[in-house]
Structure 1
Amino acid sequence: MEKKTVVIGVCGGIAAYKACDIVSKLKKLDLNVHVIMTKSACEFVAPMTFQTLSQNFAITDMFEEPKTWDVEHISLAKKADTFLIVPATANVIGKIAGGIADDMLTTTVMATKAPVIIAPAMNTNMYENPIVQDNIEKLKGYGYKFVEPASGRLACGDLGRGKLADVDDIVHEVYVSLFGSDDLKGMKITVTAGPTVEDIDPVRYITNRSSGKMGYSIAKRAIMRGAEVTLISGPTSLDRPRGVHKFVQTSSAESLYNAVNDNFEDCDALIQSAAVADYKPKNYSKKKVKKKDGDLSIELARTKDVAKEMGKIKADKVLVGFAAETNDLLQNAQRKIESKNLDFIVANDLTKEGAGFNTDTNIVKIIDADGNMEDYPKMSKEDVADIILDKVKAIIENQ
């Protein structure tokens, strides 16, 4: 991730304490964070808190002794790759909409050319006031992005809309502003992820070691690049990607097949990163199988090959497969391309450190239907996801 700068303007409201969490989360994404506080914000949170979390001086006064020889509001305005105002009060929204620049925050916003994200938080009646709504609509017309407030119990005790949006939603909007794009806009992409689970009895089951991280990374990056994403997922401990168009929870290979089949017609591309069981217990026991002397044999039956079935009805859709192998990687991958009618396959050797299940990185080879192969070094799964999506995009655009 290229190191970028976020300037955060904190206004005076009880939700100012949540801005501390936002600064912390953005720093954990390895971003430069600078905080500007209004005079009222300092009544709710001490500037030292933001200085400690951001590891930069918090700016509170236009006329305080400068920490550098830059013209500070112009310097911060130029540094910003994205500008976030949180919590945004009716007062500050109104001043920006009216072109008023009478403190460090409004002056810097006026001088920046970076995207500006505004996260309002205020009493319901204030938020619904026609003047405030007119100001919001005016700023939206100028290209300002708003993270709409939530409904709930407010600090004043009222119930209604005006509560600051979820912190993770705000962080996500900043992340999208910094690293997202619209190059996949208009494309519908279905992604499968995670393991399948095949029940033996009500207690036991057969599964595999897939964590779902690769598929979720693909879904996340596709969303951030503007695609409409359907994510079909086996059981994982991962959070659902924010902004996913449709999320389908599955368990067995059969339920995954049904979900893929149901959503296949409406997609432009199917990226099949789920680790689907090849076999399942032939006979399911409705009661727990009791322990006895001697060995236990479980007869296994073949599951439906999801990728192969989709290959039969492919038409003009892009099909991407995965091959996680421990031996004969290239031979097995090429065989799958032919038998499943894939456009290309992403192959990885599970014996290599940093590749495969339960890691944040991967080492892959991508082989297309013509036998062309590209070999990639170890990289994050999100970087692998972008490479896969670039290839999907190229195929769709060249059809």
Structure 2
Amino acid sequence: MKKVANDCDVLVIGGGIVGLATAYALTRAAPGTRVTVLEKERGPARHQTGRNSGVIHSGIYYRPGSLKARYAVRGAAEMIKFCAEYGIPHEVTGKLIVATERAELPRLHALVQRGRENGIPVRELGPAQITEYEPEVRGLAAIHVGTTGICDYGAVARHLAEASGAEIRYGAAGHVTRVDRRADLGVAVRTADGAIVRGKVLVNCAGLHCDTVARLTGDDPGMRIVPFRGEYFELARPELVRGLVYPVPDPAFPFLGVHLTRGIDGGVHVGPNAVPALAREGYAWSVVHPRELAGTLGWPGSWRIARRHWRYGAGELRRSASKTAFTEAVRRLLPGIGPDDLVPAPAGVRAQAVLRDGTLVDDFLIREGARTVHVLNAPSPAATASLPIGREVARRALGALGVSGDMPARRG
């Protein structure tokens, strides 16, 4: 133990968008609260936040009443206002969800009902109307969701960091190696540079490593992060797609499937394919961390997922290995493309919480321990919902501090 850092009130581990939104909410709700954020990378938003397609999700897919549904609907409106206030590039584009087979039509109609239950405006379209929105897309029917948008979440995270007024430590100074907790004294964290940072309450927003951090505090998270890599291509002819085009999701499978997303930079992302990652930050097949892989394989839930979804997984692995197979999946929505139209793009990794019985945690998962708040499942649409999630986590952290804070939603 080389040196002792100044104390803070709330110590946030993780400088992604959820951790930074929590810091922002804390200082807004209880001015004067001393907040320190620890982030092991050299800057914010280097993992899930900065490696997605930038979609501001409407909330149409999520079970009515769930945290995902409530926070996505609320968060989308707040994110658009936040971007407008800080001059962050964004656009409300709307999106199409397209049925390409007759078997998908009942699921498409069910999404219409779900959207209405979640308070989302939805317009039903026939084949001719699809081409009015997207001339190159083909389908039997579709729905148009008007509240979907796009933005730069990396820029959002940087503005949250600045606006929060929190002290943020990056690199070795933010890399947590040990946590000591005493119910009466608070939490002390040792970082990779040998410093000790002391806080009254610890908030765990460590994303891909949140279960590891929970165990460092002595809390049993009851789940493990099983990482899935999302593999993307960029469309060489972006003029073929005007906006956002999604397939009808199959509720029997855990991921949405390959979709088309025109980003804020004008490029069109195609993907993601979803395959097991061989490391928590395994952005390519060549990235293998034996200890992390052993942890995944040693978790009973991992094998139960494999048995339950092996057919789906085999298809994803085939598309990972074969560009031709990936192209076939894209052609369901966009028939006019070939393999040469797909240019490899950076991948992302989804931090998916999995229970011991193999259940993939579907909703956001926030748990509390003594002087700790753990965010244990916050994949998509967490970026969209980051402002209301941050307020909820901040509310719990302030409760652990014995402070009542005003948690106003953003009103522009």
- The two structures have a TM-score, normalised by structure 2, of 0.23
Bigger-Rg structure (1/2): 1
- The two structures have a TM-score, normalised by structure 1, of 0.23
Higher relative contact order (CA 8 A, sep 6+): 2
Higher strand share: 2
